[in-house]
Amino acid sequence: MHSRILAGVTVGAIALVGAALPANAAEESSAKLSVLHGVPDLPVDVYVNNELTLDNFAPSDLAGPLELPAGTYSVAITAADAADASAPAIGPVDLTLAAGGNYTAVAHLNAAGEPTATLFLNDTTATAAGEGRLTVRHTAAAPAVDVLAGGSAVISGLTNPNEQVLNLPAGTVSASVAAAGTTDPVIGPADVTIADGVNTIVYAWGSLEAGNLALAVQTIDGLSSAPHGIPAGSVGLAADSDTGSLVWLGSAALLMLIAAAGVTVSTRRREAAQSK
């Protein structure tokens, strides 16, 4: 089943590689990367330079963030538990990461339910005193949605694979996701903590038709004192999903790949705005 799904994937999945970061590497010469696996029922094995570097990376897992040198890496994706990388379902392909970026790569479904992937640029600009940042990303097989807080839409008409960013006072928000123009939740409600100096990133992922929509939550902290503070990531799942496992690669660095023949991976960039 997994091999059949992989063979039909028209976009890549994700790859992680352990590569030691040079002790003297400056922050501006490296990138920070987290990876969220948001494709239901699609575990994969990842090979870097023909070496197995990630075994059975499962849906709902979030890896990272870790710092890695900017550069180009060759990665191949196989079905879970493949003997080797001699017959990859995806790749091998090269991925080049630019210095200075803080990214989250998401393997997910598009609005039509086909596997796809998006590379997001995380907003790490400083937040105002007493405020945090809420980023909402639509990465689910579902039409446009509204994000509700207290029963009212605070984000309207969000489509896959887009995002919206809000700067809010620190506190707890009871949020839910509903089809655009409605108030009947398809995900949630779930409590989301907005912490001082933290970018809380909420992902809607899964499939509305399959009935497995879920929320994943990532956090990037240290934003109240430094515009480019080192992030600390965590993941939690709400609504119809159990808590996902957080995959750490120790002190090794992390590499992500989202690529396949004929596929364009979109990078969502936006102008950072500091809330007053």
CA 117 to chain centroid, in Å, comes to 9
Least confident of 40-44, 46-50, 249-253: 249-253
Mean pLDDT of 171-184: 93
Q: pTM for the whole thing?
A: 0.68
Closest CA to 162 of 144, 185, 180: 144
Closest CA to 219 of 122, 82, 127, 89: 122
Confidence class for position 10, pLDDT limits 50, 70, 90: very low
Mean pLDDT of 121-149: 95
- pLDDT score of 134: 96
- pLDDT score of 234: 34
Confidence class for position 275, pLDDT limits 50, 70, 90: very low
| R_g (Cα) of the chain, nearest Å | 18
